[in-house]
Amino acid sequence: MKSFPLHDVVSPLDDSWSLERLAYLQQTFADAPPEAVLTWALHTFTPQICLATSFGPQSIVLMHLISELAPETTVFYLDTELLFLETYTLRAQLEQLLGIGIVRVTPQLSVEDQARLHGPELWARRPDQCCELRKVLPLRRFLEDQRAWITGVRRDAGPARQAAQLVEWDHANGLVKLNPLVDWSKERVWDYLRRHDLPTNVLHERGYPSIGCRPCTRPVREGEDERSGRWVGFEKTECGIHRWPSEAGKTAQAVAPRERR
Ligand code: SF4
């Protein structure tokens, strides 16, 4: 693993994570570059740490950082089997360019089996259920053996993400969650991508700032929220894999370490 100069590397003495401890880590890394929190997290959790990628701009920044810091780190994506062809093309490009393997995590039901069990085009009738089957449950299963996961969540990507923290406890999945770019703006992300000459999804040039599954993603107009092209016609703005305590009605209580499997 490539070393990174840290003034204050926090090494946990045990495996318990209280909200106070997470708050302390957030304070410690508040003004540090993402490499700092990533280096700490990789030292603390490897090999039970993974990076989730959606192949969005911020995911590509993180994949690039991870490929430089510790390319053996598990990188995975949720393949709903309904992604755009352009997204699969980008995946292959990034694997080759960054020299990393990207694990494909799939739902238990194929699209055809889902249609047989729940009716055709579930996304057009009950998108929450479709996301639960094709994203939320596969993610939960994949994270069972992990102690921490890294995501590209940014606070300014939409109103539902305002509560996101740099280091937080993922109540839904029972592990530490790191959002190293939580304070980054869209402009800062794109500036990083340009400086490092990294490829991005060609659909961004066609008006898609946020890209999910084919049936649930539309282009957005100039000035609109970058996630407003997702689930058009529904109240839904998030697929359900990112939930925050305030959203879930959780109080600031101490969190217990998860049972190891
Ligand atoms: Fe289903 Fe749409 Fe969610 Fe994809 S984004 S899992 S198609 S509801």
Q: pLDDT tens digits, residue range 102-130?
A: 999 999 999 999 999 999 999 999 999 99
Beta bridge partners of 88: none
Instruction: Give one DSSP letter per residue of 3-68, joined into a string.
Output: ----S-----SSS---HHHHHHHHHHHTTS-HHHHHHHHHHHHTTSEEEE--SSHHHHHHHHHHHH
Ligand 1 centre to CA of 215 (Å) is: 7
Residue 22's pLDDT is: 85
The helix/strand/coil state of 170 is strand
Q: What are phi and psi of 142, to 5 degrees?
A: -65, -35
Give the strands of the sheet with 102-105, arranged side by side. Answer: 102-105, 74-78, 49-52, 148-150, 175-178, 167-170
Question: Is the CB of residue 161 less than 8 Å from the CB of residue 242?
Answer: yes
Q: Is the pTM of this model over 0.85?
A: yes
Residue 16's pLDDT is: 63
Give the pLDDT confidence of 12-65 residue by residue, as tens digits.
444 567 878 888 888 899 899 999 999 999 999 999 999 999 999 999 999 999
Beta bridge partners of 83: 213
Ligand 1 centre to CA of 123 (Å) is: 5
Mean pLDDT over the full length of the chain? 87
User: Cβ < 6 Å from ligand 1: which residues?
Assistant: 80, 82, 123, 127, 130-131, 134-135, 212-213, 215-216, 239
Distance, CA of 51 to chain centre: 7
Ligand 1 centre to CA of 26 (Å) is: 32
How much of the chain, in percent, has pLDDT values that exceed 90?
Answer: 67
* DSSP letter assigned to residue 161: G
Residue 251's pLDDT is: 34
**Which atom number of ligand 1 is nearest to the Cα of residue 128?**
8
| pLDDT for 158 beyond 90 | no
Give the pLDDT confidence of 230-248 residue by residue, as tens digits.
888 788 888 888 887 643 3
Query: Which residue, by CA, sits nearest to atom 5 of ligand 1?
Result: 213
Residue 261's pLDDT is: 38
Distance, CA of 83 to chain centre: 16
> Which residues are designated catalytic?
239
Ligand 1 centre to CA of 81 (Å) is: 10
**Which atom number of ligand 1 is nearest to the Cα of residue 123?**
8
Mean pLDDT for the stretch of residues 82-91: 98
Give the pLDDT confidence of 175-220 residue by residue, as tens digits.
999 999 999 999 999 999 999 999 999 999 998 888 999 999 988 8
Residue 256's pLDDT is: 45
| pLDDT for 11 beyond 50 | no
| pLDDT for 161 beyond 70 | yes
- Fold designation for 19-236: Rossmann fold (3.40.50)
Structural domain boundaries in the chain: 19-236
Residue 245's pLDDT is: 60
Residue 15's pLDDT is: 54
